Amino acid sequence: MHPTKTTENRRDQILREAARLFAERGFHGVGVDEIGAAVGISGPGLYRHFAGKDAMLAELLVGISGRLLTAGKARVAEATDPAGALDALVRGHIDFALDDRPLITLHDRELDRLRDSDRKLVRQLQRQYVEQWVEVVRQVRPAAPEPQVRAAVHAVFGLLNSTPHLGAHSGLPGRDDTAALLRRLALAALTALDSMDDRRVTY
């Protein structure tokens, strides 16, 4: 039997609130009862949807890694040229970085709490996502050596995934303007590959 839409929506609500609470107070600082209260159901009622907090954390971290990869493949497939594919990847990751900030915090703090199989799956999905970017960037910047492309892709992820550190008093504009700024910064970082080569710098 397929889950009903109501069940799916309630699961999404639980996961969203669990991510927020875990990010704010840490995995061990949040009880099942608190997550239940955030979505208007009893703590024990959560067990109709998840086996426990560990299962929620696994679904959050495995889930977002899978969604990024799947969405990235779709964006690349829809693009008409490599430059368009790269821009689509950047825009898609920015949407994630701005709209799912708690998941970035969770990944940084709680990934090691996953059981080995789930952690390995997250890493596998992430490696595929990185390779997706590397392939597109190499099409756009064919003269750039692969090690530098790979390093640049990881650096851009670090730039975009810094959004949890952008507090309310950062002075940044609204979401659309912030997204536009992040896009310009990410594309500029990748454009820097044009001036790179493997020659040793001497002084």
Nearest to 57 by CA among 108, 16, 9, 114: 114
> For each of the chain's 203 residues, which pLDDT tens digit applies?
444 444 448 889 999 999 999 999 999 999 998 999 999 888 778 888 999 899 999 999 999 999 999 999 999 999 999 999 999 999 999 999 999 999 999 999 999 999 999 999 999 999 999 999 999 999 999 999 999 999 999 999 999 999 998 765 556 678 899 999 999 999 999 999 986 554 433 33
Q: What is the pTM of this model?
A: 0.86
Cβ proximity of 22 and 30 under 8 Å: yes
Q: Using alpha carbons, list the distances in angstroms from residue 13 to 10, 19, 40, 55, 90.
A: 5, 10, 10, 15, 27
Cα–Cα distance for residue pair 106/92, rounded to 1 Å: 19
Q: Which two tokens stand for residue 130?
A: 């990185």
